[in-house]
Structure 1
């Protein structure tokens, strides 16, 4: 029999691509707010309800649920939602597993590269570095603490936390938003353009989850970032090169982004580098370590 893997955050691009990648080897189930397919099970985080049938014969959970950080302005209410969607969802899972006396082989949780704080520095952050002191780092710390509870309470044999950078995909996310302005000759770097943008190809992030799932020696936190460090300006220019479009417009002024997005603008205007050495030392190999190759692959798919 195939081992059962329960994936939360069913509608997200990582969940969908990952399910395609591992679907032949594992019995995939999804937790979703609205059941539409036979392998989907409903849950409601606010009401603390979940279809417990999803947990039968369960071996692994890949916890990808979490409201989109950059979708809306960070009002006080939105900040609560960003935290609750990650922390309360994990607590609900933990409650059901405890109630049903299920011990997982692994609990693999999404996390964020903003663990280290949202700032632009010369430092290259490693997993051993402490967290930052801003809102996003607070979110990630609470997120990871919620994951660690599964190990502390002996609910999972191991816990893995994937500190995810900007995921480049042709279907959604940052790249998809950047393509149209560049195609129509109005694309340009944001703010100074000197802020680093830790990134990873969608195929590599899914491969990292698969690697974590299959290798019992993988535990703790790992930076899910390409080995190649690039700035916002370099990313914008490289996309333009691949699309064969000139960049004619000046950089978007920081004050405009601050007016548009409020506190959220810090996540756009600031960014530091993070090291992928720890995951590479385990034997994981990036298929797309080079930005140009990653963009060529993705932009060809989007045509």
Structure 2
């Protein structure tokens, strides 16, 4: 009988890709959704509502694995205090709800695997290559990731194998990060943000899904893993490569940091700062990235 993987955030960008990978690998998939959806041969939908602390328990009770991808977008809206609260709680509250169902029903899992973020290391620009042992930052992104991962640890306390995937910028065809960038670049109006020297750890969505599959299938994996190509891509090199794929060189001046700070407020730090991340730990598990060349990765994502 096929093993079942329950996804939170399963209807989002990464969730849709991961669903396809899981089904192709012989798993059935359950997805938690706030709206009614029709089941298919390989996908079952279950209702949940975080505001009322409701979850259809059958989804958890039938699961062999749970992958937690849900969370409000980091750069979708300006960071008001209310928005910050929503970003944090959208990541931790689902785990708390799942924990209560697992504990109350004495239910065990083969693994609980959660997204986390490279933001754990903070909105800092430095030459330091961050490993999984690098201390967490004390800014908003750092604190959010710490609380996120602490919530995952409560699942681990139930003697369930857990893994936390600290993810960089995810590249997919007209999705995620690129969905915001490509319209202006496609029209010839691409620009470098701030100094352009801030590092931009990235990963192709196909590689990210393979990492999640690796975490499911390899019961020796646990703890935290960076999910980003270990290169030294900066905002400038990323922007120049994207412009090149559209057939031009960037001609517009750099967008001044002060202007982005005026428009975006504190959220601008997530765009104007960044440091490289090590991929050594995930590669030591035997995982091999398919996309390590930025131009090849981007060319598979733009049209």
Note the alpha carbon deviations across 1:162-212, whole angstroms, 9 max, x for none: 000000111312222222212222111100000000000011111110111
Q: How far did residue 128 of structure 1 move?
A: 1.0
Residue of structure 1 equivalent to 2:27: 26
Structure 1 consecutive aligned stretches of length 4 or more whose deviation exceeds 6 Å: none
The one of 124, 130, 136 aligned to 2:135: 130
3-state SS of 2:21 partner: helix
Gapped regions of structure 2 (runs ≥ 5): none
Q: How far did residue 12 of structure 1 move?
A: 1.2
Gapped regions of structure 1 (runs ≥ 5): none
Normalising by structure 1, we get a TM-score of 0.96
Normalising by structure 2, we get a TM-score of 0.96
The one of 61, 67, 70 aligned to 1:56: 61
3-state SS of 2:203 partner: strand
Distance 2:157 2:61 in 1: 22
1:81 aligns with 2:82: no
Residue of structure 1 equivalent to 2:177: 174
Residue of structure 2 equivalent to 1:13: 13
Q: How far did residue 255 of structure 1 move?
A: 1.1
Is contact 1:183-1:245 (8 Å) kept? Answer: no
1:194 aligns with 2:192: no
Deviates more, 1:207-216 or 1:168-177: 168-177
Distance 1:98 1:258 in 2: 44
Residue of structure 1 equivalent to 2:125: 120
Distance 1:228 1:293 in 2: 14
Residue of structure 1 equivalent to 2:265: 262
Distance 1:41 1:220 in 2: 28
The one of 185, 188, 192 aligned to 1:185: 188
3-state SS of 2:133 partner: coil
Distance 1:185 1:53 in 2: 50
Distance 2:61 2:107 in 1: 9
Q: How far did residue 89 of structure 1 move?
A: 1.0
The number of residues matched between the two structures is 298
Alignment of 1:144-159 (within 5 A): 144-154=149-159, 156=160, 158-159=161-162
Note the alpha carbon deviations across 1:189-236, whole angstroms, 9 max, x for none: 100000000000011111110111110011000000012220000000
Deviates more, 1:52-61 or 1:95-104: 52-61
